[in-house]
Amino acid sequence: MIFLVQQTMIFAIPLLIVALAGVFAERSGIINIALDGIMIFGSFIGAVVVYNIQMAQNGPSGQVLYLIALLASALAGGIFALLLGFSAITLKADQTIGGTALNLLAPAISLLLIKVVYGQNALRMPTGTVKEYMLHIKTGTFLDAFTDMSYISTYIMIVLFIILSIVLYKTKFGLRLRACGEHPQAAASVGINVRKMRYIGTFLSGCLGGMGGYIYIATVSAGTAQGTVAGMGFLALAIMIFGNWKPVGIAIGSLLFGLLKCIGSSYRAIDINNDGIAGLANLNLPSYFYNIIPYLAVLIVLAFTSKNSRAPKAEGIPYDG
């Protein structure tokens, strides 16, 4: 059971923070379908920072290095997202097409630079492993699921999720941001700079998406950047819609789909009863069956919940004021 909880959190945390990233953009009125590309670009820059620091052999290591990589990936994701902001806010281009373009651009840039600059097909950590990023606090109880072999990013992202949710729904800034996604003309009439708020929402969305990207490759892919995040950005978008653009719904959706992703990737090792028997593996079903479960669940859940979803009224509509 401890293993199941740990593996679920590994997938749930990036989904949680990236789904919130989508909320910040869409509550400001910008459809951020580029979350997958932002995750890829952020993960790439995080991996580059780790690679160069480790190659220098005299820089920080362990959890300090992890935090530096997270900050770098956040900044990179924010800057990359500004490309979407420029096309959607300044040029008033179609936001879905702009987001799709970034989803195509991110892996292309990442893989090109990895090949040309580093001479590799995938950028790996030159020394050490991601185990250096982990906490190792054993209590001998169920709390080991959260303290032993767990990542410091888990706690940071949970705290950040709570703080940003409060900012979005309980502060003047959050009210102004949400007003720009609901009634931009009304917001402008009371002195709110709609374009500025939309740029801020898009930048924050990119920062969170970039961090989520590096957290994903650090916890799932051993810190290796290879131009993909296995569609986690699109899954986060689905969770955002499932959660009705609200933090509580997003948290529930992230845990649910995190569990399904965990089953898909670790079904051979899941032993719920601690009896040494991995029940799912004994069913002798092909691995593809388990891997498809999260995405099939997305289709089913959205089919039944989309009618009750209420997107921001002005999302995707260029502001002409």
Q: Please give the pLDDT value at position 277.
A: 47
Q: Which residue has the tokens 């959050």?
A: 174
Report helix, strand or coil for 92: coil
Has residue 107 been placed in a domain? yes
Q: Please give the pLDDT value at position 275.
A: 52
Q: Give residue 262's domain range.
A: 2-308
Has residue 187 been placed in a domain? yes
CATH number of the domain that 182 lies in? 1.10.3470
22-56, pLDDT tens digit by residue?
A: 999 999 999 999 999 999 999 999 999 999 999 98
45-85, pLDDT tens digit by residue?
A: 999 999 999 998 888 878 899 999 999 999 999 999 999 99
Has residue 314 been placed in a domain? no
Has residue 51 been placed in a domain? yes
- Phi, psi of 135, deg, nearest 5: -95, 145
**Mean pLDDT across 107-117:** 96
Q: Please give the pLDDT value at position 91.
A: 95
Q: Above pLDDT 70, what percent of the chain? A: 94
pLDDT at 90 over 80: yes
Q: How far is CA 279 from the centre of its chain?
A: 31
Confidence label for 220 from pLDDT (cuts 50, 70 and 90): very high
81-120 core/surface letters (b: 16 or more CB in 10 A; e: else) = bebbbebbbeeeeebeebbebbbebbbebbbebbeeebee
pLDDT at 118 over 50: yes
pLDDT at 310 over 80: yes
Q: Please give the pLDDT value at position 276.
A: 46
Other Cβ atoms closer than 10 A to 221:
18
d(C-alpha 275, C-alpha 58), whole Å: 46
Has residue 320 been placed in a domain? no
Q: Please give the pLDDT value at position 131.
A: 82
Has residue 251 been placed in a domain? yes
Confidence label for 10 from pLDDT (cuts 50, 70 and 90): very high
Q: Please give the pLDDT value at position 312.
A: 93
Number of structural domains in the chain: 1
Q: Which residue has the higher pLDDT, 144 or 314?
A: 314
Spatial contact of 225 and 115, defined as CB atoms under 8 Å apart:
no
Mean of the per-residue pLDDT values for the chain? Answer: 90
Q: Please name every residue paired with 136 in a beta bridge, in sequence order, or none if there are none.
A: 148
The token duo for 182 is 């609901």
Has residue 321 been placed in a domain? no
pLDDT at 153 over 90: yes
257-304, pLDDT tens digit by residue?
A: 999 888 877 766 665 555 544 556 666 777 778 788 888 888 888 888
pLDDT at 1 over 80: no
pLDDT at 108 over 80: yes
Q: Please give the pLDDT value at position 170.
A: 95
Q: Which residue has the tokens 């969770």?
A: 239
Has residue 142 been placed in a domain? yes
158-212, pLDDT tens digit by residue?
A: 999 999 999 999 999 999 999 999 999 999 999 999 999 999 999 999 999 999 9
